[in-house]
């Protein structure tokens, strides 16, 4: 989700599974003022929900902004017959670590669920 899509998202709905990990952040005065403005504009949303959505959108945007670094290995051929090379930049490692952490979170949650 793009940050610019958040307002539409907040207007329509907000659902999702939350981790049990709580993070504490100290905002700059300017960020606090903007958060206060958003909280007034969207009173149904808690400040925590607004921050969570903003952070999630920023992470998505960060991931999509990682540069593609062409490797030597051909991983596919497009519909026009052009070879597509593996990405050897930061994206594959970021996605692999994200997947690993998601699996660890799921396992931790499963271990804590009573049988």
Q: Which of 26, 49, 65 is the last residue of a domain?
A: 65
| Average pLDDT rounded to a whole number, residues 70-79 | 96
Structure tokens, 62: 């960060």
Q: Which of 24, 45, 65 is the last residue of a domain?
A: 65
Q: Which domain holds residue 30?
A: 1-65
114 and 59 in a common domain: no
User: How is the chain classified by DSSP, letter by letter?
Assistant: --GGGHHHHHHH----PPPS--------HHHHHHHHHHHHH-TTS-HHHHHHHHHHHHHHHHHHHSPP-EEEEEEEE-TTS-EEEEE-SHHHHHHHHHHHHHHHHHHHHHHHS--
Work out the percent of the chain whose per-residue pLDDT is above 70: 92
Q: Does the pLDDT at position 1 exceed 70?
A: no
1 and 53 in a common domain: yes
51 and 36 in a common domain: yes
58 and 100 in a common domain: no
pLDDT given at position 49: 92
pLDDT 10s digits, 21-52? 888 999 999 999 999 999 999 999 999 999 99
pLDDT given at position 39: 96
2 and 53 in a common domain: yes
Number of structural domains, the chain? 2
Q: How much is the pTM?
A: 0.69
71 and 47 in a common domain: no
pLDDT given at position 112: 84
59 and 70 in a common domain: no
pLDDT given at position 13: 66
């Amino acid at each position: 989700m793009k940050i610019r899509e958040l307002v539409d998202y907040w207007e329509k709905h907000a659902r999702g599974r939350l981790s049990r990990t709580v993070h504490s952040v100290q905002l700059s005065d300017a960020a606090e003022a903007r958060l206060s403005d958003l909280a007034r504009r969207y009173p149904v949303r808690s400040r925590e929900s607004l921050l969570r959505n903003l952070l999630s959108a920023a992470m998505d945007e960060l991931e999509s902004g990682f540069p593609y670094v062409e490797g030597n290995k051909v991983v596919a051929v497009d519909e026009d017959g052009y070879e597509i090379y593996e990405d050897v930049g930061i994206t594959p490692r970021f996605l692999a670590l994200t997947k690993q952490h998601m699996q660890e979170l799921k396992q931790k949650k499963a271990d804590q669920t009573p049988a």
